Structure 1
Amino acid sequence: MSDDHREELRNLVSHLGAGIRDTHYRPAYDAAANICSGVFAMIPVDLHDVMHEAVMAGYAAALRDLEEGKLDNQVRERSEIIE
């Protein structure tokens, strides 16, 4: 991967994670650490931070969606299947 491409990727991921709320930071950080621990062995070391930040951004977005009720119907449907 070229340095320019790597920098573009870093900027994109940084932009994605810019909206992580303080209340979501720690859970997102911990979840990303758990998820990425299995991936780090397969990717270059210089992409570890980018991968971690990308997973944090996704996890924090999911937490936000849950708080805002965007996933309520899906949660109800799945809980009915389990019951």
Structure 2
Amino acid sequence: MSDDHKEERSSLVTNLGAGIRETHYRAAHDAAANICSGIFDTIPVDLHDVVHEAVMAGYAAALSDLDEGKLDDHVRERSEIIG
């Protein structure tokens, strides 16, 4: 992998994690580790950080949405059934 590609990958990883709130970091990290453990054996090692950070960013975004009361109709329906 060229130095330019390595730098682009590093920048992508940094940008993906930039929006994660400190309050959500541990939960997002643990969820991403859990999710990624099943796929790390199937993807190149060079992509592990990118995939992990992408999953963390998505999970943290979902937690932020929940904090802000942004629930889609599917989540509302499930919570009504459970509650």
TM-score of the aligned structures, taking structure 1 as reference length: 0.79
| Number of equivalences | 83
> Following the alignment from structure 1 to structure 2, what is the Cα–Cα distance between the partners of residues 43 and 36?
10
Q: Which runs of 5+ in 2 are unaligned?
A: none
Q: Once the two structures are aligned, what percentage of the paired residues are identical?
A: 78
The 5 Å alignment of 1:17-36 reads 17-36=17-36
TM-score of the aligned structures, taking structure 2 as reference length: 0.79
**If each structure's helix is expressed as a fraction of its own residues, which one has the higher value?**
1
Structure 1 runs (4+) deviating above 4 angstroms are: 1-7
Q: Is residue 47 of structure 2 the alignment partner of residue 55 of structure 1?
A: no
Query: In 2 relative to 1, CA 3–43 (structure 1 residues): closer, same or farther, beyond 3 Å?
Result: farther
Q: CA RMSD in A?
A: 2.4
Q: Which runs of 5+ in 1 are unaligned?
A: none
